């Protein structure tokens, strides 16, 4: 589904990703861990197509297509979803209106008719139940005045609504209480299918207790320095990242 | 006499009368320019009573002594007041032969707004064969109103059938010598709307100039007078969301509202005159004077406006809070794109006790445009316990446009409270990326963000107007980012 080869990315002439390789196949869950400031969010943004980052060399192929030929909206409509580390507030725009616009623009891209209000509201109800999100969030303006945890739950709700092929969740578990963590994790577990894939960026092993990843990667100074199975996450939790530095791998 | 279609288009799109009219029409026109004779001619053509002719002449002589105001933050070449035709019989309005002769950009916009072909023709001045539906709509409409004693007709009809009301109230809110443009209007006004709601009557329908097809083509020097007698209520809508082309470049309208004790008037406008092309050529200059007087105690006047059109907008809908416990409101969204210029805002003049006013102004600028808010809040000596709250927000799309705020305060009463808040923001790259990432393209994203920003004002519009206005905001800003 996704194949990244020897990727180099810069912002303002500062190289942040320095030769990264990653392959994600349908049905897989990959966890990416690593210290602050090593380029995890940068990687997520680059896959989504954010223009402030410059790919200086290397390639990203998504569903067999060079991703650099696709706009942000095309990538989204082709099934790439990014759960933001810092979701953005859009004052005055209701969640319903926002999601309806998103769903229908994606449908239009795929040549489908737009959902009418009745069908759309039914879809919303169904997904709200699935991810256990309350109406008092979906009745409000997009992320406006949401608490940190509420914003993260709202990202999961949007993911459920858009039903992506490749979901990248950037620290969606940070700042969550135990219940919210379970909501977020269950959302992923329920949406997991053989034909979709997840990249989960996290600092904590606890999320991976709920969502068992197929692979765990350590991103360090712009490269994946170690990959393993779920046991690697536990090892990282115990030992930190120090042992991976100084060429210990 | 026959003209090539191309000539007609040129004439229409170039926005002046350079080629003149057909000869048989010239009979129905006053000559170019403004003299005392022009005014006598207009008044005679309309069979006006003597008092109105005198009123016009008084205004004309005053106008000759006045100079065009220059304080607004707008720039335009000098207006040739002596090269304008001040009277042309409405039925002789030049007509296009088919919709194909209309600016295709305009037609595209109509389609996006879902406006029927017949309606499109009417709005662009294409000859319409039969408007059977509209006629029948109009009749049922008038019947309902007549039963309640509501008078709703063109200004000219009111002059003929209700001269006493005109004499009593005309000029009460906007005196003949109020300002350069209002005074010009007072001298030469062509037609407009008149509305009287009798004591204790709640007008059950939104009154809309849109229905009054007969008086629809009176754009240039329009004059409207609305009187709400004791305890009455009316919601009045002016304009429509469809862009309206007009061969007259200068517009100077006057709207007056008077509310008696316990009465309420809600006045909503969607102004979408032709703004000129993308380079800023053509487009209407709109110099409007709108003012209401809350004359009786406990009365209320609200102005809600969505301004997206015109090359130049100069407009300050105001309320004089004369009675005690009166309320004045102004809710505005003003969009400027390309080379449009808007200098708009409100004046709230508190004279009575316990009076309250609210100003919510949302400016949106894009392209190379310039958007200014100008507002005056005055607390008179006797306006004890009065309050004003003003909030003026500006949203910038791009970095070639300008937003400015000019709030003026005059407080002569120590027991009154005036609050003012102002913000300037940009559509952030983060917000656009967030929308794009959900599959929403820039056009849709800007539409969403802008409508969210303007929500507090759009919510004040009558329902069906609000839905159209939302679409209109998005369309006005198409192509302004990315
Ligand atoms: N717009 C920017 N301008 C300059 N530097 C940037 C920009 N965005 C990111 N960086 C830098 O790139 C590096 C990687 O940032 P990134 O957000 O990808 O880290 P991260 O791995 O997600 O960290 P965290 O775990 O704290 O979220 C950091 O040093 C950061 O300061
Ligand atoms: Mg990060």
pLDDT digits (tens, 9 = 90+) for B327-384: 999 999 999 988 899 999 999 999 999 999 999 999 999 889 999 999 999 999 999 9
Contact B434 A88 (CB under 8 A): yes
What pLDDT, on the 0 to 100 scale, is given for residue A80? Answer: 97
Residue in B430, B436, B452 nearest the CB of A93: B452
Contact B438 A162 (CB under 8 A): yes
What pLDDT, on the 0 to 100 scale, is given for residue B278? Answer: 76
Contact B437 A106 (CB under 8 A): no
Best residue in B427, B439, B441, B467 for a mutation probing chain A (most A CBs within 10 Å): B439
Contact B439 A162 (CB under 8 A): yes
B280 or A143, greater pLDDT? A143
What pLDDT, on the 0 to 100 scale, is given for residue B83? Answer: 80
A91 or B271, greater pLDDT? A91
B133 or A218, greater pLDDT? A218
With bands split at pLDDT 50, 70 and 90, how would you rate the model's confidence at B146?
confident
Residue in A88, A91, A109 nearest the CB of B452: A91
pTM: 0.81
A93 touches chain B (CB under 8 A): yes
Residue in B428, B444, B454 nearest the CB of A101: B444
B119 Cβ contact partners less than 8 Å away, ≥ 6 residues apart: B110, B242
What pLDDT, on the 0 to 100 scale, is given for residue B103? Answer: 59
Q: How far is it, in rounded angstroms, from Cα B393 to Cα B452?
A: 13
> Measuring from atom 29 of ligand 1, which residue has the nearest CA?
A37
Q: How far is it, in rounded angstroms, from Cα B481 to Cα B442?
A: 7
Number of H helices, E strands in chain B: 14, 19
For the residues A159-168, what does the mean pLDDT come to? 96
A53 touches chain B (CB under 8 A): no
For the residues B45-65, what does the mean pLDDT come to? 94
What is the CB < 6 Å shell around ligand 1?
Answer: A 11-12, 16, 36-42, 52, 85
B323 or B17, greater pLDDT? B323
What pLDDT, on the 0 to 100 scale, is given for residue B222? Answer: 87
For the residues B170-176, what does the mean pLDDT come to? 96
- For residue A116, pLDDT over 80 is answered with yes
Q: How far is it, in rounded angstroms, from Cα B191 to Cα B218?
A: 6
A73 touches chain B (CB under 8 A): yes
Q: Please tell me the number of the ligand nearest to residue A52's CA.
A: 1
Task: Tell me which of A57-71, A179-193, A219-233, B207-221 is least confident.
Answer: B207-221
A101 touches chain B (CB under 8 A): yes
- For residue B13, pLDDT over 50 is answered with no
What pLDDT, on the 0 to 100 scale, is given for residue B247? Answer: 58
B467 or B98, greater pLDDT? B467
What pLDDT, on the 0 to 100 scale, is given for residue A50? Answer: 94
B448 C-alpha to center of ligand 1: Å?
A: 29
Task: Tell me which of A3-7, B51-55, B330-334, B442-446 is least confident.
Answer: B442-446
- For residue B271, pLDDT over 50 is answered with yes
For the residues A84-113, what does the mean pLDDT come to? 95
A245 or A211, greater pLDDT? A211
- For residue B458, pLDDT over 50 is answered with yes
Q: Residue B237: enclosing H or E segment and its boundaries?
A: strand B233-239
Residue in A72, A77, A162 nearest the CB of B433: A72
Among B446, B465, B476, B453, which residue's Cα sits nearest to residue A93? B453
For the residues A241-246, what does the mean pLDDT come to? 70
ipTM: 0.96
Contact B448 A91 (CB under 8 A): no
What pLDDT, on the 0 to 100 scale, is given for residue B469? Answer: 83
Contact A82 B437 (CB under 8 A): yes
Q: How far is it, in rounded angstroms, from Cα A171 to Cα B63?
A: 69
pLDDT digits (tens, 9 = 90+) for B199-247: 999 998 888 764 433 333 445 788 999 999 999 999 998 875 555 555 5
A178 touches chain B (CB under 8 A): no
Q: Residue B427: enclosing H or E segment and its boundaries?
A: none
How much of chain B exceeds pLDDT 70, in percent?
Answer: 77
pLDDT digits (tens, 9 = 90+) for B80-137: 888 887 876 544 344 556 666 665 665 665 566 555 665 665 555 444 333 333 333 4
* Shortest Cα–Cα distance, A110 to chain B (Å): 11
A167 C-alpha to center of ligand 2: Å?
A: 16
What pLDDT, on the 0 to 100 scale, is given for residue B58? Answer: 96
Q: How far is it, in rounded angstroms, from Cα A191 to Cα B342?
A: 51
What pLDDT, on the 0 to 100 scale, is given for residue B212? Answer: 37
Tell me the best of A8, A14, A41 to mutate to test the pocket of ligand 1, counting ligand atoms within 8 Å of each CB and taking the most: A41
Q: How far is it, in rounded angstroms, from Cα A188 to Cα A148?
A: 19
What pLDDT, on the 0 to 100 scale, is given for residue B192? Answer: 83
What pLDDT, on the 0 to 100 scale, is given for residue B86? Answer: 81
Question: Could you give the C-alpha distances from B72 to B42, B287, B299, B342, in angstroms and in order?
Answer: 31, 11, 31, 9
Q: What is the mean pLDDT of chain B?
A: 81
Could you tell me the two tokens for A225? Answer: 């320095």
For the residues A58-85, what does the mean pLDDT come to? 96
B127 or B254, greater pLDDT? B254
A42 C-alpha to center of ligand 2: Å?
A: 7
What pLDDT, on the 0 to 100 scale, is given for residue B476? Answer: 79
What pLDDT, on the 0 to 100 scale, is given for residue B123? Answer: 54
Number of A/B CB contacts below 8 angstroms equals 69
- For residue B22, pLDDT over 80 is answered with no
Residue B406 · residue B375 · CB < 8 Å: yes
- For residue A236, pLDDT over 50 is answered with yes
* Shortest Cα–Cα distance, A55 to chain B (Å): 18
> Measuring from atom 7 of ligand 1, which residue has the nearest CA?
A11
Contact B428 A77 (CB under 8 A): no
Contacts B453 to A, Cβ<8 Å: 91-92
A236 or A68, greater pLDDT? A68
What pLDDT, on the 0 to 100 scale, is given for residue A184? Answer: 87
Q: What's the per-residue H, E or C state across B215-282?
A: HCCCCCCCEEEEEECCCCEEEEEEECCCCECCCCCEECCEEEEEECCCCEEEEEEEECECCCCCCCCC
Which chain B residue lies closest to A48 (C-alpha atoms)?
A: B437
For the residues A224-230, what does the mean pLDDT come to? 89
A41 C-alpha to center of ligand 1: Å?
A: 7
The CATH code of the domain that includes A224 is 3.40.50.300
Full residue range of the structural domain in which residue A78 is found = 2-245
With bands split at pLDDT 50, 70 and 90, how would you rate the model's confidence at B4?
very low
For the residues A21-43, what does the mean pLDDT come to? 95
- The residue assigned the tokens 């017949």 is B118
Which chain A residue lies closest to B455 (C-alpha atoms)?
A: A92
pLDDT digits (tens, 9 = 90+) for B272-310: 887 877 777 778 889 999 999 999 999 999 999 999 888
Residue in A52, A76, A93 nearest the CB of B436: A76
Contact A48 B437 (CB under 8 A): yes
* Shortest Cα–Cα distance, B433 to chain A (Å): 7
Could you tell me the two tokens for B433? Answer: 């990326």
Number of domains in chain A: 1
- For residue A243, pLDDT over 80 is answered with no
């Amino acid at each position: 589904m996704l194949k990244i080869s020897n990727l180099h990315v810069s912002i303002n002439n500062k190289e942040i990703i320095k030769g990264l390789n990653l392959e994600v196949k349908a049905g897989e869950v990959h966890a990416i861990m690593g210290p602050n400031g090593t380029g995890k969010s940068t990687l997520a943004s680059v896959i989504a197509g954010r223009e402030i980052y410059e790919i200086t060399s290397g390639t990203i192929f998504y569903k067999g297509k060079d991703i650099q030929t696709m706009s942000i909206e095309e990538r989204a409509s082709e099934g790439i979803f990014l759960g933001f580390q810092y979701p953005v507030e859009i004052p005055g725009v209701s969640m319903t209106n926002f999601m309806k616009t998103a769903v229908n623009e994606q449908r239009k891209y795929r040549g489908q008719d737009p959902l009418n209000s009745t069908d759309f509201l039914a879809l919303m109800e169904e997904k709200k139940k699935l991810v256990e999100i309350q109406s008092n969030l979906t009745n409000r303006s997009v992320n406006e005045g949401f608490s940190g945890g509420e914003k993260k739950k709202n990202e999961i709700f949007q993911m459920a609504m858009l039903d992506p092929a490749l979901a990248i969740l950037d620290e969606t578990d940070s700042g969550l209480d135990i219940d919210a963590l379970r909501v977020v994790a269950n959302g992923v577990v329920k949406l997991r299918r053989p034909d979709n894939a997840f990249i989960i960026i996290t600092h904590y092993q606890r999320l991976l207790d709920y969502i068992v990843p197929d692979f765990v990667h350590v991103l360090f100074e712009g490269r994946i320095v170690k990959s393993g199975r779920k046991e690697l996450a536990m090892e990282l939790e115990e030992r930190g990242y120090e042992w991976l530095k100084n060429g210990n791998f | 006499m026959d003209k090539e279609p191309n000539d007609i288009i040129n004439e229409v799109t170039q926005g002046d009368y350079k080629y003149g009219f057909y000869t048989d029409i010239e009979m129905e026109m006053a000559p170019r320019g403004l003299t005392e004779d022009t005014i006598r001619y207009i008044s005679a053509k309309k069979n006006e009573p003597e008092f109105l002719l005198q009123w016009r002449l008084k205004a004309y002589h005053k106008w000759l002594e006045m100079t065009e105001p220059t304080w607004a933050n707008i720039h335009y070449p000098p207006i040739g007041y002596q090269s304008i035709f001040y009277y042309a019989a409405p039925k002789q309005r030049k007509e296009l032969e088919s919709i194909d002769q209309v600016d295709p950009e305009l037609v595209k916009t109509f389609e996006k707004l879902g406006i029927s072909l017949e309606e499109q023709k009417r709005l662009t001045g294409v000859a319409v064969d039969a408007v059977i539906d509209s006629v029948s709509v109009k009749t049922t409409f008038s019947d309902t109103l007549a039963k309640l004693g509501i008078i709703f007709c063109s200004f000219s009809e009111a002059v003929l059938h209700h001269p006493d009301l005109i004499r009593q109230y005309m000029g009460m809110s906007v005196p003949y010598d109020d300002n350069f443009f209002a005074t010009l209007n007072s001298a030469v006004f062509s037609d407009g709307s008149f509305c009287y709601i009798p004591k204790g009557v709640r007008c059950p329908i939104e009154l809309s100039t849109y229905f009054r097809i007969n008086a629809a083509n009176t754009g240039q020097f329009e004059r409207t007078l609305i009187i709400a007698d004791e305890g009455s209520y009316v919601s009045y809508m002016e304009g429509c969301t469809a862009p309206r082309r007009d061969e007259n470049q200068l517009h100077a309208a006057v709207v007056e509202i008077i509310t008696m004790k316990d009465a309420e008037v809600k006045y909503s406008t969607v102004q979408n005159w032709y703004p000129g092309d993308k380079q800023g050529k053509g487009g209407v200059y709109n110099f409007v004077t709108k003012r209401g007087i809350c004359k009786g105690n406990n009365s209320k006047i609200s102005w809600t406006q969505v301004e997206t059109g015109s090359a130049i907008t100069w407009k300050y809908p105001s309320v004089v809070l004369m009675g005690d416990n009166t309320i004045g409101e102004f809710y505005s969204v003003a969009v400027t794109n390309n080379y449009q210029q808007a200098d708009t805002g409100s004046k709230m003049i508190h004279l009575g006790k316990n009076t309250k006013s609210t100003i919510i102004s949302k400016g949106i600028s894009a392209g190379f445009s310039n958007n200014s808010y100008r507002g005056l809040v005055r607390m008179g000596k006797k306006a004890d316990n009065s309050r004003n709250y003003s909030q003026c927000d500006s949203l910038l799309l791009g970095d070639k446009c300008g937003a400015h705020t000019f709030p003026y305060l005059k407080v002569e009463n120590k027991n009154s409270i005036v609050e003012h808040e102002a913000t300037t923001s940009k559509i952030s790259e983060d917000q656009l990326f967030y929308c794009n990432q959900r599959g929403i393209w820039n056009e849709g994203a800007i539409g969403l963000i802008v409508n969210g920003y303007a929500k507090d004002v759009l919510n004040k519009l009558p329902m069906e107007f609000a839905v159209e206005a939302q679409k209109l905001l998005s369309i006005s800003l198409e192509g302004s980012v990315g």
